[in-house]
Each structure stands twice: as C-alpha cells, then as structure tokens.
C-alpha cells in the first residue's frame, strides 16, 4: 500500500465534511419562501424585486434524468404538466423554485388561462419561470447568497438551452 501524507486534524475534518455534503440528497420537500405583504418596498440597497407572475408556485426536483413538480404544499403535480417535466428532465440533478404560468397572446400572464389549461388538460403552451436554485448535483445551495444562486441558475439555463418551457426569470435590483 502506498504511503499516505498526514493531514492536520482541521484538514481531516474539512475533508470529511466535504465527503458528507458533496453527494447529499435534497430533502423530500423544501418549503418555499413566500412573499410578505408590507406597506412599501424596501429602499435599502441589496434588495431584489421579482415579477409577480400570477401562476402556480412550483418546485422542480430533477434526479436521475427525471423531473418531478411539487406544489408549494408538496403535492406531486408532475402529471398535470408533462411537457414542463419532460423539459426539466434534461437538467442535471437539482431542485429549482419557480412558477408555472400561462401567457396570453401579448405575453402577459393570465391566471384564468392557466386554470383553463388545467381543466382542458391542454398544458403545451405553459411556461415554467425559474428564479431560484436550491440544490445542484448533490450540493445544497440554500445558504449561498441569492445573487450567486440566481447567477448559477441563469448559466445553467443558458448552458442547457433546455426549451421554451423553462425560462429564467430575472429580478430587478432595488435601491
């Protein structure tokens, strides 16, 4: 057996922690962060403002080449959105937060059109706007700054060139 280089206790601990978290499976469900009603938008620098899409908040979990879609309460709605789930299957293992939306002929979100699409089981024109990356390839991204998570999500969407069903939703920096 080849000789091993001795590691300091700190290096051993870091190496052990890296092995434990590198391939960590995400929790079965991650409760979403929800908007809170306030009297006015924060004026401090560092705040980001997101578009209100008027759709269904959905979490996409991709694992082993299959995507599942869960509501904000954890219900599996994958069968209701087969085209979006199929498009998400092209992504690496990850958990993404977003919102499924129906757009009218002018590109404006329409909640009534979304409800009609579900009732008619005609979901081929719906779009999943993605706005946060929670897990990627066994790594928990939730403690990283939102700006870093969003940048990685944007590059992932661009790199994979997934489809018209998955669209990165940018935010606006406040101040």
66 is known as an active-site residue? no
* H/E stretch holding 171: none
Q: 172-173 and 166-168 as β-strands: parallel, antiparallel, unpaired?
A: unpaired
Distance (Å, rounded) from C-alpha 167 to C-alpha 78? 18
Set 5, 6, 52, 143: catalytic member: 52
How many CA atoms, within 13 angstroms, populate the side-chain half-sphere of residue 2?
2
Question: Within a 10 A sphere around the Cβ of 173, how many other Cβ atoms?
Answer: 10
Distance (Å, rounded) from C-alpha 136 to C-alpha 71? 20
**Annotated active-site positions, please?**
52
């Amino acid at each position: 057996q080849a000789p091993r280089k001795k590691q300091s206790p700190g290096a051993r601990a870091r190496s052990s922690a890296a092995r434990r978290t590198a391939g960590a499976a995400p929790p079965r469900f991650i409760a979403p962060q929800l908007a809170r009603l306030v009297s006015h938008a924060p004026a401090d620098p560092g705040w980001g403002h997101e578009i209100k899409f008027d759709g269904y908040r959905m979490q996409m979990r991709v694992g082993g080449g299959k995507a599942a879609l869960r509501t904000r309460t954890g219900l599996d709605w994958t069968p209701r959105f087969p085209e979006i789930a199929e498009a998400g299957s092209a992504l690496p293992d990850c958990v993404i937060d977003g919102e499924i939306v129906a757009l009218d002929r002018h590109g404006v979100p329409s909640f009534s059109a979304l409800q009609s699409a579900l009732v008619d089981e005609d979901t081929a024109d719906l779009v999943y706007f993605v706005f946060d990356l929670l897990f990627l390839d066994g790594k928990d991204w939730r403690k990283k700054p939102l700006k870093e998570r969003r940048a990685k999500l944007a590059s992932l969407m661009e790199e994979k060139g997934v489809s018209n069903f998955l669209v990165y939703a940018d935010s606006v920096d406040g101040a």
